[in-house]
Structure formats: structure tokens, C-alpha cells
Amino acid sequence: MQTKFLLTDSQIPKAWYNVVADMPNPPAPVIHPGTGAPVGPEDLAPLFPMALIEQEVASQRFIPIPEEVLELYALHRPSPLYRAHRLEKSIGTRSKIFYKYEGNNSSGSHKLNTAIPQAFYNMKAGRTRIATETGAGQWGSAMAIAGSFFGLEVKVYMVKVSYGQKPYRRMLMETYGATVVPSPSRDTNTGRAILEQDPDCNGSLGIAISEAVEDAAQRADTSYALGSVLNHVILHQTVIGLEAKEQMAMAGYYPDIVIGCHGGGSNFAGIAFPFYADKAAGKNVRLVAAEPASCPTLTKGVYAFDFGDTAKLTPITKMYTLGHSFMPAGIHAGGLRYHGASPLVSQLVHEGAIEAQAYLQNAVFGSAITFARSEGILPAPESSHAIHAAVIEAKRADEGGVEKTILFNLSGHGFLDLAAYDDYTNGRLVDHEHSEDNIQAVLGNLPKVSL
């Protein structure tokens, strides 16, 4: 009875998979926030090194991974694929459940998969400093670690409510040499303007992005880096799914259902897109994005052009959105509290190739505890949405008298989220469901786009 399916260093994928090559329609254009017209590579040059801009608009199916990135990937990759024998038994399902575990690295999540190449390409381009934001802290931690690998200075704008709630995340970033400030901060015009209006503002991912973008745009030595949403970030994460396909083959199964939790889209797309390639070629596989009911971007948002940030500094992309001024409830899955979504994921959801499901956090933590006590691993609150969706799908299959093979992405561990578990076990966790009514306001606040 095999539990783990492992690959060796030499089996780390040598190229990332670019889903654009297999999509039925080309990606929607990206719009300049000032002119309302499509952006060109030169418009993005102040923010990103050209290698990443090229990946952002690339159309070839596979993009080679540089040797230097592969060497650093080998510190934490290939990641293990597990057959969840004990979880299956614990919930009494006839279905087979597999999970890919991305938490065995010091960022504690999949985020390091893109932080390493982003740091690498910036170093190669001569940039010496990165400005970025972080919500729950996973992305900021990954960028701090990757920055330390390449000797880059890293400045992290951390959503203020997380900065207060998660001192360990701040300390982790500082241990790897990063500078961390609570956002909104006094270090940017955006931050100062918001603090003037509301000195007690708790911050949001949208605001923190605005601060980091403003910082990067004003310094020639500095790039902006984003931990999700963008095409090149999604691209880097496909190592997850590429490895998982090999490992599922080792196990002798092909998944009927592939599940990832969904915030900005990167861990979901990371595991799902390499299977989408098969789906596009006719294979029968369901791809399911699991999101929080309090921030139901894919299930209740609108598919429209919108800003990625609150201060309207970022390029405008076509995506599912709850509106760029959306303020999410303070749920513990901080990494899933984003108003927008990956344009690539959004387009495939819109076209019906990807399904989305939304869950309340108490139910999600219930499944997290069941998983922890059976499989041993303490899951991140974000990743627990994928666990919960897998449990729901298994139970649904049992009720239907069928047996499914389910694969989900366990994107990170919950060591730095124990306060959330404490709230759950002591009955202090409140469910938040986003109201459909609010969505209507979004429509009136979307940017004008001239195509």
C-alpha cells in the first residue's frame, strides 16, 4: 500500500507549460490604466524585467526553465504526491483521493515556485531591489527567501491587519533579510493619502499592490513582483501539475477531478493547467476551483475589465472581479481574499472549461481537522478549501454510487495559522457569505475600456 509517489531531482520539469497554446481563444488584451488602450511590452518595462514581460505574452506551449532556477527548485522540488489512504478511510469514501503537497519549503507554500524565477530574471536584468505586497504572508515570505538567494533587496508592503495578526510571518521575512512595513504605509503617496482619510485603515491586498507598484515605478533599480494572477506567475506554477501528472502515472491512476483552492489563481492553475492540456485534447477531466464564500470572485463576481488594485495604478485586465474597491471580510484564509482573479483562469471559467465552488470557513476548517488528524499534515486555511472540495466531491460520488479518482493541491501548511485553528476549535470562527446585492455596485465602478 504505497503512500507517497516521489520523483528525483532529475525529474524536475525542464520547461513550464503555457496554457495559452491550448486555449480555444487568445487571451483578452491587457489595458493601460491611463489611456484605456491595450498595453505594449514597453508600458510594463518600468515594473518588470523584459524576460518576465515576454513570458506574460508568450504563446509557445513550453518555456524552458533556466539552469539556475532548476538548481534552486531542487532545494524543495519535486514535491511529494500522496495517496490519502487514511483520509479516505476517515470519511468512509470508495473514491481514491490523492494530493500534491507544496508546503515542504520555508515559505510554507507553492509561492516559492514563482518567487525563485522572478528573483532570477530580475537579477539577470540588473535590478537590485524588489517591491511587493503580501496579504497572509506566504508570498512575501517566498519573495524574501528568493531575494536572499540572489542577493536582492526586498521591500514588502504587508496588509496591516495581517501585519498585526501574524508577527511570525513578518519575522520570517525579516530573517531572510526583507524589509516589511504595514500597508497602508507612510512610504508611498497612495499609503499617505489613504491614511489621511482613514488613519485606522486595516489595509487590503488592493491597497498594498498599489503601494508596491508605486514604489517600483519610481525607482530604476526596483521591480514590482506579484505572487499570483499574472500569466507569468501562473506559468511558473505549472511545475506542480507537470510533476503531478508523472506521479499519478506512477500511482497508476488518472484523475477524474483536479481541485485547487482559488484566490488569485496561481496554485489552482499550477495543478490544473497541465491537466487542461489533456482536456483540450479530449480527455474527460473536471477542473474545480474552490474559493471562500466570503470572497466568491469566480462564483459571484462579474467577468469584466477591472483594475488589479485599489488606487487604479495597475494595468486593467479582463477577469472575474468583485470590484477593485472590494473590502473582504477578515476570514482566516488571507491568501484567498482578493477581489480579482487570474485572467487565464477567468477566461477558462467563462468558457466553461473550469468549474468554481464556494465554501464557508467553518465547514472548511472541519475538513481541515479531519485531514490533519488522518494524514498528519496541518493544512493552511487556504489549502483547506481544496481539501473540503475533495471531501464534498468524494461524498457526492459515494451518494451517486460511483467511484472517482480525485486529485487536489495541498498548497501549504498551517503552522503560522494556528490562531485560526484555535478560533475554530473554540467556536469563535464566524462565517461570512458575500451578498449578491453588493455585486451590482461593482458594475457601475468598472473602468472605461476602448478596444
Q: Give the residues lining the site for its own copies (CB under 8 A).
A: 1-4, 6, 8-10, 71-72, 74-76, 82, 86, 104-106, 108, 112, 145, 148-149, 167-168, 171-172, 174-177, 369, 372-373, 375-378, 413, 415-416, 418-419, 421-422, 425
Task: Tell the smallest beta-carbon distance from residue 368 to its own copies (Å).
Answer: 9
When the beta carbons of 59 and 175 are compared against its own copies, the nearer one is: 175
When the beta carbons of 3 and 35 are compared against its own copies, the nearer one is: 3
When the beta carbons of 72 and 344 are compared against its own copies, the nearer one is: 72
When the beta carbons of 148 and 325 are compared against its own copies, the nearer one is: 148
Task: Tell the smallest beta-carbon distance from residue 237 to its own copies (Å).
Answer: 18
- Please answer whether residues 173 and 180 qualify as being in contact, where contact means their C-beta atoms are separated by less than 8 angstroms: yes
Q: Which amino acid is at 287?
A: L
When the beta carbons of 74 and 443 are compared against its own copies, the nearer one is: 74
CA–CA separation, 79 and 101 (whole Å):
6
First to last CA, the chain: 57
Crossing angle, helix 231-251 and helix 112-124, to 10 degrees?
Answer: 130
Task: Tell the smallest beta-carbon distance from residue 112 to its own copies (Å).
Answer: 8
Listed residue (59, 344, 284, 321) closest to 205, CA to CA? 321
Task: Tell the smallest beta-carbon distance from residue 445 to its own copies (Å).
Answer: 40
When the beta carbons of 175 and 438 are compared against its own copies, the nearer one is: 175
Q: Is 230 left (phi over 0), alpha (psi -120 to 50) or beta?
A: beta
CA–CA separation, 28 and 347 (whole Å):
8
Q: Which residues contact 324 (CB under 8 A, 6 or more apart)?
A: 206, 306, 307, 308, 309, 310, 312, 339, 340, 445
Task: Tell the smallest beta-carbon distance from residue 401 to its own copies (Å).
Answer: 29
Task: Tell the smallest beta-carbon distance from residue 252 to its own copies (Å).
Answer: 15
CA–CA separation, 161 and 250 (whole Å):
43
User: In terms of DSSP bridges, do strands 81-83 and 4-5 run parallel, antiparallel, or are they unpaired?
Assistant: antiparallel
Q: In what order do the strands lie in the sheet with 355-359?
A: 4-5, 81-83, 96-101, 405-410, 257-261, 286-292, 355-359
Task: Tell the smallest beta-carbon distance from residue 198 to its own copies (Å).
Answer: 29
φ/ψ of residue 304, rounded to 5: -160, 165
Here the cell at position 33 is 490604466
Peptide bond into 78 cis (omega under 30): yes
When the beta carbons of 17 and 149 are compared against its own copies, the nearer one is: 149
When the beta carbons of 47 and 72 are compared against its own copies, the nearer one is: 72
Cβ neighbours, 10 Å, residue 249: 11
